[in-house]
Amino acid sequence: MYKDICILDEKDKMLHKKCNEATFPLSDEDIKLIDGAIDYLRKSQDEELAEKLGLRAGMGLAFPQMGKLKRIFVISYKREDDTFLEYVIINPHIISYSSEMIYVEEGEGCLSVNRQVEGIVPRHARITVGFYDINGDYHEERVREEIAVAFQHEIDHLDGILFTDRIDAKNPFKGVDILRSI
């Protein structure tokens, strides 16, 4: 728990449910949660602050992880030059995706999964996403590589799917020889 942000663990039923579309205007509570999540993610990627506050590093948070079954997520991605690439994504849908598949070599992580998980999570290398912003305006954007992985990971959360569900249970490293690692 940090400020008002309480992140649910994978065992919680909430994380395995499909979320409902958000409606506009967003409520004050939604906006507070969005701001809180971005603040959390930024601080969690600052080593000193994270240690002081006891935060695990993360770059994405979806509403169901904070106990709200709404189709909203935020991404805060710290670039090499220490600036942040940030998104607030509402009611997203994937318009198209590359046939090329990739996986994150060091494995995906999730603020709701508090254990070491081995295995490969196949993701599309590039996706085009349609979504609404915080003001209710519609956008379409093509994202690639780690941002595409982050979007797919967070969109999955809105459908009650965790990255651990996407790892082949019998053969966790299935595809290691054919998929590109990033």
- Residue among 147, 153, 181 nearest 166 (CA): 153
Binder to Co ion among 66, 110, 125, 155 (CB under 5 A)? Answer: 110
Residue 132: DSSP 8-state: E
CA separation for the pair 13, 40 (Å, rounded): 23
Alpha helices by DSSP H, listed for the chain, are: 28-44, 47-53, 145-158
Residue 77: DSSP 8-state: E
Among residues 47, 48, 145, 154, which one is catalytic?
Answer: 154
Report the nearest approach of Co ion to the CB of residue 136 (Å): 25
Report the nearest approach of Co ion to the CB of residue 108 (Å): 8
If the CB atoms of residues 75 and 125 are measured against Co ion, the closer one turns out to be: 75
Q: By rule CB under 5 A, what count of residues binds Co ion?
A: 1
If the CB atoms of residues 27 and 69 are measured against Co ion, the closer one turns out to be: 69
CB 74 within 8 A of CB 89: yes
CB 72 within 8 A of CB 36: no
Report the nearest approach of Co ion to the CB of residue 22 (Å): 18
- Residue among 95, 88, 51 nearest 73 (CA): 88
- For Co ion, what does the binding mask look like between residues 54 and 93, x meaning CB under 5 A? ----------------------------------------
- For the question of residue 21 being annotated catalytic, the response is no
Taking CB under 5 A as the rule, does residue 37 contact Co ion?
no
Q: Which residues are catalytic?
A: 154
Binding site for Co ion (CB under 5 A): 110
